[in-house]
Structure 1
Amino acid sequence: MKFIIQRDQLIAGVQDVMKAISSRTVIPILTGMKIEAKQHGITLTGSDSDISIESYIPAEEDGVVHVEQIEEGTIILQAKYFPDIVRKLPEKTVEIEVDANLKVTIRSGKAEFNLNGQDAEEYPHLPKLETENSFEMSIELLKSMIKQTVFAVSTMETRPILTGVNLKLANNVLSFTATDSHRLAKREIPVTDANIEFQQVVVPGKSLTELYKILDDSEETVEISVTNNQILFRTKHLNFLSRLLDGNYPETSRLIPEQSKTKLQVKTKELLSTIDRASLLAKEERNNVVRLFTQGDSVIEISSNSPEVGTVVEEISVELIEGEELKISFSSKYMIDALKAIEYDDVTIEFTGAMRPFVIRPLNDDSILQLILPVRTY
């Protein structure tokens, strides 16, 4: 195997697949990176058996040559050293050559590295997903759906299914739902011409977080395919494959209150920064609890106190208060996360009493929903 490749292209591909390679894997060969050279281009692969990432560098694209002098072949290189070597090479091009004894030579300018490769036959085969059952969506939209939900997954392994985001596609609506049983985040979008429906596809939160980092804003769309235990996100140069979590995701729709007793409309940034300030004194407590009191029809008071530290009280004017008076306590962290995820200037918050979950939505947009359970304080 042999080829000469543009170093920048190689670095970008290596950085992408490194996100799937873990030094803690139980399968030794998975600590390596697979490099496959074909006449049409180079494919890099990394996997930790939960996530697998393939990055493709075409030999030529739009008249620009990325890879030349290709002699086909496959090799596994130690991922611990290869990325750093590539990053520090002196010239703009890199020549990689493998001999019959799996010895790998990496040349750039006057620098030459000789590494021991491993036989690619030992590398596990990635499952090939049937892409007939798939749908497309814009990368920008997918990233915003991940951002608006993934923070609410559980970090506790006691209920593994809650460490993932539930994806559901039915009646041309795609929804992402995440909950850790104290809060819930949900986002829905319409999907046209999807020839596939699914109810219970639970993608590990960790996978979606990595996917969010790796998806390139410059590419337009991503194709999503699902099988019984894998999900594939595919763009022109990237295949991102994740295993799905086993088990039944809880029915979350019944948690969302039908009607409300108190309703607020408020500027998102103003509420966010007020709660952020109030939480400064709530750090000692387990939940960073802050309190919200309604006053009249246009003012709410946000406060926090911790006996050892002191108290903070701040009033903010709101656009609207309807319904009953309210005193409620909640985790400032959950509220800050929820408000940050809603990328709108104004939000409405609907309460059904001091001990019932409350719902935060952007003004005039029901596609995004954040739900938080209050904290009991006596």
Structure 2
Amino acid sequence: MKFIIQREPLMESVQNVIKAISSRTTIPILSGIKIEATNNGIKLTGSDSDISIESFIPIEENGIVYVEQIETGSVVLQAKYFPEIIRKLPDKTVELEVDEKLKVTIRSGSAEFSLNGQDAEEYPMLPQIHNEDSFDLPSDMLKDLIRQTAFAISTLETRPILTGVNVKAIDNNLYFVATDSHRLASRQIPFENQTLGFSSVVIPGKSLNELNKIIGDTQENVNICIMQNQIMFQTKNVYFLSRLLDGNYPETSRLIPEQSKTIVYVSTNDLLRAIDRASLLAKENKNNVVKLVTKPNNQLEVSSNSPEIGRVLEEVTAKHINGEELKISFSSKYMLDALKAIDSDQVKIEFTGAMRPFIIRPTENDQILQLILPVRTY
């Protein structure tokens, strides 16, 4: 195997596939990157059994030549060393050559490295997915869906199903839902022009967070295909495969209160900054607890009290407050996460009492919903 390649696209592909490689793998060859030279270009693969990523570098794209002098073949190189070597090479082009004994020579400018390769035949084959039951999403929309929900997954393995995001298809709507049982994040998008051939799957949060780093923030479509226990995301040159979580995701719709006693309309940024300041002292507190009290004349009092450190109190002017007076305490971290996920200047917060879950939505969009359970402070 032999080829000459532009260093920049090679580095980008290496950085993509390395996200799937774990140093703790039980299959030794999966600690490496598979490199395959074909007549169409160079394909790199990384996998840890749970996530597999393929990145393809075409010979030529948009009139730019990326790969030259290809002699087809394949090899596996240690992910511990190969990315660092490529990153630090002196020239803009890289020549990679593999002999019959799997000795790999990497040349760039005046630098030359010799590495021991592994037989690519021993690398597990990735399943080939048929696209009959697939659908497309613009990559920027998929990134929004992940950003607005995946932060709310559980980090505890006691309930593995909650470490994933529940993706559901209901009545021509696509839902992303995540909860750690103390908060919930939900995003819905209408899906009128495509048929969704599934009802409910749970995608590991880790997989979605890695996918989010790879897909571009563009209008380019991502093709999504769901099978029995795996899901595939495919862009023009990247193929991302993840296992799905086994089990039934809890029915979260019953957690959402149907009526409210107090409704607050407030600037997202004003509230976020006030809670951020209050959280400076709340960090000493186990739950980062901040207290919110409604006051006359559309005033919200945001405070935090740490006996050893001190107290902070600030008033925020709401646009409008309807209903009963309210005193409620909650995790500042959960509230900050929720407000950051909402792309809106104004939020509507619906409370049903001091010890009941409350809902945060953008005022002009009911497709985004954040739910937080309060904290008992007495």
SS at 2:105 equivalent = strand
4+ residue runs over 4 A deviation: none
Letter in 2 for 1:108: S
> Counterpart of 1:244 in structure 2: which amino acid?
L
2:27 corresponds to which residue? Answer: 27
Structure 1 residue aligned with 2:93: 93
Q: Does 1:43 align with 2:56?
A: no
Out of 245-254 and 92-101, give the one that drifted further. Answer: 92-101
Q: CA RMSD in A?
A: 1.0
Letter in 1 for 2:157: E
Structure 1 distance, partners of 2:248, 2:79, is: 36
Q: Which residue of 1 aligns with 2:59?
A: 59
Shift of 1:198: 2.1
Q: Equivalent residue for 1:309?
A: 309
The residue aligned with 2:260 is 260
% same residue:
67
TM-score normalized with structure 2 length: 0.98
Q: Does 1:72 align with 2:65?
A: no
Do residues 143 (structure 1) and 148 (structure 2) align?
A: no
CA offsets per residue over residues 119-162 of structure 1, 9 Å max, x none?
Answer: 11110111111111111111111101100001100000000000
The equivalent of 1:359 in structure 2 is 359
Separation in structure 1 between the aligned mates of residue 218 and residue 332 of structure 2, nearest angstrom: 35
| Per-residue deviation, 1:297 | 4.4
State the match for 2:8 in structure 1. Answer: 8
- The structure-2 alpha-carbon separation of the partners of 1:240 and 1:219, relative to structure 1 and needing over 3 Å to count, comes to farther
The amino acid that maps onto 2:135 is F
In 1, Cα distance between equivalents of 2:313 and 2:352:
24
In 2, Cα distance between the equivalents of 1:278 and 1:7? Answer: 48
Q: Who is 1:244 aligned against? A: 244
Distance 1:242 1:169 in 2: 19
- Counterpart residue number, 1:160: 160
Q: Which residue of 1 aligns with 2:81?
A: 81
Q: What SS does structure 2 have at the residue aligned with 1:325?
A: coil
- Aligned pair 1:225/2:225, yes or no? yes
Deviation of the 1:261 alpha carbon? 0.6
Structure 1 window deviating more from structure 2 (330-339 vs 126-135): it is 126-135
Are 2:316 and 1:280 equivalent residues in the alignment? no
Task: Show the counterpart of 1:205.
Answer: 205
Query: Which deviates the most, 60-69 or 239-248?
Result: 60-69
Conserved in 2, the CA contact under 8 Å of 1:297 and 1:322? no
Instruction: Name the TM-score, length of structure 1 as normaliser.
Output: 0.98
Deviation per CA, 1:81-120: give whole Å up to 9, x if none.
Answer: 1111111112111111111111111111222111111011
> Conserved in 1, the CA contact under 8 Å of 2:174 and 2:191?
yes
The amino acid of 1:97's aligned partner reads: E
Contact preservation (8 Å) 1:276, 1:336:
yes
Q: Deviations over 1:292-333 (max 9, x none)?
A: 111124111111112222211111110000011111111111
Whichever residue aligns with residue 164 of structure 2, its letter is G
Return the offset for 1:219. Answer: 6.0
Q: Any conservation in 2 of the 1:135–1:193 contact (CA below 8 Å)?
A: no
Change (3 A) 1:255 1:297: farther
C-alpha distance in structure 2 between counterparts of 1:124 and 1:333, whole Å: 41
Alignment check: 8 A CA contact 1:4 1:95 kept = yes
**Mapping of 1:178-197 within 5 angstroms?**
178-197=178-197
Structure 1 unaligned blocks of 5 or more: none
CA distance in 2, matches of 1:371, 1:297: 26
Pick closer, same or farther for the CA change 1:254–1:218 going to 2, 3 Å: closer
Tell me if the contact between 2:8 and 2:92 (Cα under 8 Å) persists in the aligned partners.
yes
Aligned residue identity for 1:21: I
- 1:371 counterpart = 2:353: no
Deviations 1:249-271 (A, max 9, x none): 00000100111110000000100
